[in-house]
Amino acid sequence: MTYSSFDPQSATNFYDYPLCSRYASEKMKHIFSPNFKFSTWRKLWVILAESEKELGLDFISEEQIQQLRDNIYNIDFAKAHQYEIELKHDVMAHVHAYGDVAPEARKIIHLGVTSAYVGDNTDLIQMREGLLLVKQRLVTLIATLAKFAQEHKDLPTLGYTHFQAAQLTTVGKRATLWLKSFMFDLEQIEHCLEHLEFRGVKGTTGTAASFKELFGNDYSKVVALDQMVTEKAGFKRRQEVSGQTYDRKQDTFVLQVLAGFASSAHKFTNDFRLLQHLKELEEPFGKKQIGSSAMAYKRNPMRCERISALAKFVLSLEMNGHLVHATQWFERTLDDSANKRLSYPQAFLAVDAILLVLQNIAEGIVVYEKMITRNVMRELPFMATEDIIMDCVKKGMDRQEVHEVIRELSMEQARLVKQEGQENRLIEAIIADGRLPISASEIKDLLNPSNYIGFAPQQVDDYLTNVIQPMLARNQEFILGEQVEFTV
């Protein structure tokens, strides 16, 4: 590329942020948009003026407040940007821009507060709204996976430890393991929402010194103002003491919750991609979707791979919360600002994108039952040997002698399977060997996979009935009815 071809008017000549252009939803992008942010600043200035008037500041008129209300969304972003170039201060730029459209109220905008009043409180409002949307998507995902677990609770499949074939489980029971991780995440999200503390009205260094003058040394009114603004902003809790900013420890809690969910999502994709390799489950695949530019037959698990990639990004962002919190000086320092503008909005956008893809997968999981059964039957003869030993002992044989016979035959069959690529014919070998008093019909009864799944179906029923369904009943309003479209 030569710089002579650079066109500053073309959007294609500038970095295109993928979380916004490719991955996240319109809803989540709106929460962290300039329109949401700066209209929230104005809403906070309105409730500040309302509350100050209610607490006795009679020089604030209803007409001034109404003019502020009427212009909450009348934001001239170009004018605000010009003010910021001149003033080098984002909050004061918007104070001036607000005053231009609400001239009667100009003199009482931002009265008694510092920039953190709108900056920090808006951050908390954005995080609350982001967590609520994440909760909506997660509850919906859990409902979809619960349906999948119920439908496949009886379908035997190989269980794995160390990715080596172990005892059987069921497809539905394995899905409850994914559900359990996501339920932990939901509980943490709900805890975070319940305990998120509003910064409120604290003054320049947290001492409310300016309000001492405004309210004539009446501390009770300062406390009342803090409580009123907190409640009007929709928060149950307020930070009782602060410096200029809310304690950045809260950011660590939010980023931990989002990273925790990302970890669960990544774990899901690990399992799913391994199962897709085994040709047992498959993520949705479009009729015209291309799996590989070279290998036309391929059906790559690109949805799971996208989740994995985004999850790693979210996990990496968790450290930002700790770094910011650990390096705050006394009542505040500004080296948190640029980091916060990047870290938690990006974490929310990435988690939103992950949830969209997870929902798309959950709604369209393809189950290959015959392949699952084939894989089960390849290993089941080995698993059935314990029951064969018990049956032979009941018929009078020495347990150790039976064990040795089966060990010899099993080792030989394992060799033939691994070295010569033969099918597992251990059962046929036991019958042909003739040393054990067990017939072909008796062994056939032992080779029913459903005999080896323990109480998996009952465990699925118990978990869905006692845990998932009560949670869904409590959160009916959070279940989204929209069809999730997979985006490029």
Q: Which two tokens stand for residue 177?
A: 């393991």
Which tens digits make up the pLDDT trace of 228-264? 999 999 999 999 999 999 999 999 999 999 999 999 9
With a threshold of 0.75, does the pTM exceed it?
A: yes
Residue ranges in the chain whose pLDDT is less than 70? 1-9, 11, 286-298, 482-488
274 backbone φψ class: left, alpha, beta (φ>0; ψ -120 to 50): alpha
Judged on CB neighbours under 10 Å (0-12, 13-18, 19+), 20 is: middle
- 371-447: which CATH architecture? Orthogonal Bundle (1.10)
Q: What is the DSSP letter of 17?
A: -
Q: Annotated catalytic sites, by residue?
A: 162, 292
Helix (H/G/I), strand (E/B), else coil: 93: helix
CATH T-level topology, domain 115-153+170-286+296-367: Fumarase C; Chain A, domain 2 (1.20.200)
Judged on CB neighbours under 10 Å (0-12, 13-18, 19+), 61 is: middle
| pLDDT at position 381 | 85
Q: What is the DSSP letter of 282?
A: E
Write the DSSP assignment of 301-352 as a string of letters. -HHHHHHHHHHHHHHHHHHHHHHHHHT--TT--GGGHHHHHHHHHHHHHHHH
| pLDDT at position 294 | 45
CATH of domain 31-105: 1.10.275.10
CA separation for the pair 17, 56 (Å, rounded)? 48
- The number of CA neighbours under 13 Å toward the Cβ of 26 is 2
Q: What are phi and psi of 169, to 5 degrees?
A: -130, -160
Every domain of the chain and the residues it spans: 31-105, 115-153+170-286+296-367, 371-447
Taking residue 325's Cβ as centre, other Cβ atoms within 10 Å add up to 16
Which tens digits make up the pLDDT trace of 203-216? 999 999 999 999 99
**354 with 310: CB under 8 angstroms?**
yes
| pLDDT at position 438 | 85
| pLDDT at position 277 | 95
CA separation for the pair 230, 10 (Å, rounded)? 44
| pLDDT at position 484 | 63
